[in-house]
Amino acid sequence: MHDPNRIAGLIAAQAHAQRQRLQIAAAAGAVVSVAAVCLLGLSGWFITGAALAGMAGMAAVQAFNYMMPSAIIRLLAILRTGARYIERVAGHEAALKALARLRPQLFDALASAPPERALSLSSGEASARLVQDVDAVQTLFVRKSAPWALGAGAASSALLAGLASPLAGGLLLAAMTVSCLGVMVIARRLSDPAGKEAQIAVGALKDRLAALEAVAPELKAYDLNDWAVQQAASAADRHDSAQIALTTSAGWMTVSQAVVTAAALAVVVFATLGAPLSLTALAALATIMGMESAAGLVGALHQNGAAKAAIARLDQAAPQVLPHDGTRPPPPSLTLIAANANLRPPHRLGLSGPSGAGKTTFIERLIGLRDAHPGEVVMGGLDIASLSPATRRARFAYAAQDVRLLNGTVRDNLLLAGPGGDDTLWRVLEDAALAERIRAEPLGLDMPVGVNGERLSGGERRRLGLARAYLRTAPWLVLDEPTEGLDAATEAQVLKALERRLVENKQGLILVSHRTAPIQICQTRLRIEGMAQDGRVLVTPERQTAVV
């Protein structure tokens, strides 16, 4: 089930949680605009007035008050600097604290989504969603002070211009309205599409780079480095083109604002003809700073397309989580319907069959990594298709054929399965025939394994995944090709430890293997022949084909 407002709801919740900091940032932004407008306007009035007083003679010089305007100018300069600092600190602190809470929520939503959605994103695309897209959302928090700054700047500049002529104040407000409307049109036509394309392009670039990195050894072996560079360059070109378009739109916004500012300055000065020159100078400089107060809005609109695209992409990546079915975990008994096989821990089931027949697909359906077909398997008297994936997963400890490892230490990768002290970690490594290899390392359990375990061999990665599955407490242990790539002696050592663990823990076993030795430790053996037209796997129990 997809909830298109889910991410917007999370963002709104974080904005509410950070409302105090955002209010401080908005108030400080308003003070910055007012101080900047008054500072430049008063400076223009003061310099012009002082010059006119000097030209009028000594009597005018003696009567002119230099002290009070000088003190106010210094005060305004201090206020502008201090308020700018407060605005930046409060706004960015609110954004960073919000994102620190958003990222875990987004990751949880992604990981808890329906299996077909959660597993459909590549690592590069998922990384782009959780990094670049969330960074784009950050601007929503930082720019919340922009409307307040614009409003305060418009009001103060219009008031100062109105001191010279009420018409000048009205014309300035009209010019600021025209400037904002023009920037909004440019943003909608240029910035929004470019920002959306930039978010998509960075995801495609990271996806391509991740895919090429994953097959780096093969690319080197087949001398395809030049081809890989071209593939990466092609994805980078799309990203660069989007960034160029986005930068170009920012340039047009700046040009538009500059043109309207020049026109506003001309009409305001014209409207103040007949007023004292010092007030004309005040109105002119207040106009410039008033128009400048719209800069925050320009930046917000420039980034608006990227932010909207990021929210849409995050909504797509993290749809509504499937609700828990609300039932207690069923008993761990399993019935494979068509095979008429009733299993209960500590029973051992072996699955064999040709490559591509659907062995891995079947166990992934069973344990909740894929949608289950009704009528395939019954767990504790309930069809597994009626159970949520989370309920099913709780009954199994799984070691996949394709082992995925964190770019961390051996300890980090083991503790993914659950808590355990050093003694427990060494015990599961012993049972996986990997303890001797890890003890040989100076750092032991704190040895880094590298990106996806690149510092380990294929067999060692597989055994580390096996050790991780041993740490998880569950009625059933599910192993997919646990001894693939191992020599006979190591395989025998692993299987001996596996049998001992199954007896000690009274744990059931579901094992997939092409090899004879692992299948021989299983009491029930089924052969999976392929997939039926309805998607279910074909099983041969005792030489008879049936549909499961």
pLDDT tens digits for the chain (548 residues)?
A: 445 567 777 788 888 888 899 899 889 989 988 888 888 888 877 777 666 666 655 655 555 566 777 888 888 889 889 998 998 898 888 888 888 887 787 777 776 666 666 666 666 666 667 777 777 777 777 777 888 888 898 899 999 899 889 999 999 999 999 988 888 898 888 888 888 888 888 888 888 888 888 788 889 899 999 999 999 999 899 989 989 998 999 899 889 989 999 999 999 999 998 888 888 888 898 898 888 887 777 777 777 777 777 777 777 766 554 455 555 678 889 988 877 888 999 999 999 988 888 889 899 889 988 888 888 899 988 999 888 888 888 899 999 988 888 889 999 999 988 888 899 999 999 999 999 999 999 999 999 998 878 899 888 999 999 999 999 989 999 999 999 888 999 999 999 999 999 999 999 999 999 898 999 999 999 988 888 777 777 888 754 444 44
Determine the distance from the C-alpha atom of residue 497 to the mean position of all C-alpha atoms in its chain, rounded to a whole number: 41
Q: Quick one: which of 258, 282, 296 has its CA closest to 32? A: 296
Determine the distance from the C-alpha atom of residue 452 to the mean position of all C-alpha atoms in its chain, rounded to a whole number: 20
Q: What is the pLDDT of residue 406?
A: 86
Q: What is the pLDDT of residue 42?
A: 81
Q: What is the pLDDT of residue 509?
A: 95
Q: ∠ at Cα 37 (36, 39), nearest 5°?
A: 65
Shared fold status for 6-317 and 334-547: no
31 within 8 A of 83, measured Cβ to Cβ = yes
Select from 2.60.40.10, 1.10.3720.10, 3.30.360.10, 3.40.50.300 the CATH code of 334-547: 3.40.50.300
CA-CA distances (angstroms) from residue 141 to 15, 87, 95? 7, 12, 5
- Cis-peptide into 346, omega within 30 deg: yes
338 within 8 A of 547, measured Cβ to Cβ = yes
CATH of domain 6-317: 1.20.1560.10
- The secondary structure of 342-405 as a DSSP string is EE-TT-EEEEE-STTSSHHHHHHHHHTSSPPPTTSEEETTEEGGGS-HHHHHTTEEEE-SS---
What are the backbone angles phi and psi of residue 377, rounded to the nearest 5°?
-140, 140
Q: Quick one: which of 402, 233, 386 has its CA closest to 323? A: 386
Q: Which residues contact 437 (CB under 8 A, 6 or more apart)?
A: 460
467 within 8 A of 431, measured Cβ to Cβ = yes
Whole-model pTM? 0.68
With H, G, I as helix, E, B as strand and everything else as coil, classify residue 431: helix
Q: What is the pLDDT of residue 1?
A: 41
201 within 8 A of 242, measured Cβ to Cβ = yes
Alpha-carbon gap, residue 94 to 88, rounded angstroms: 10
Domain ranges of the chain: 6-317, 334-547
Q: What is the pLDDT of residue 116?
A: 63
Q: How many CA atoms lie within 13 A of 325 on its CB side?
A: 15
Alpha-carbon gap, residue 179 to 469, rounded angstroms: 62
Q: Which two tokens stand for residue 449?
A: 């394994």
- Residue 523: DSSP 8-state: S
